[in-house]
Amino acid sequence: MTPNEVRWCCIGFKSAYTIGPHRGVNAVLTSRKQPLRFALHFRPVEPRDLDAFRASRLPFETSLVSEMVIVYCPWCGEDLDKKYHKQIAGLEALHPLVTLELPDLPGPPRSTE
Ligand SMILES: [Zn+2]
Which tens digits make up the pLDDT trace of 40-72? Answer: 999 999 988 988 988 888 888 888 889 999 999
Is residue 22 in a domain? yes
* Structural domain total, the chain: 1
Q: pTM for this structure?
A: 0.78
Is residue 105 in a domain? no
Distance 12 CA to ligand 1 centre (A): 6
Domain span holding position 15: 3-94
Is residue 55 in a domain? yes
Distance 92 CA to ligand 1 centre (A): 18
Is residue 57 in a domain? yes
- 8 Å CB contact between 79 and 11: no
SS3 53: helix
Is residue 108 in a domain? no
Residue 112, pLDDT above cutoff 80? no
Burial of 43 (0-12, 13-18, 19+ CB in 10 A): middle
pLDDT of residue 113: 53
pLDDT of residue 111: 56
**Amino acid symbol at 74:** P
Residue 27 β-bridge partners: 40
pLDDT of residue 73: 98
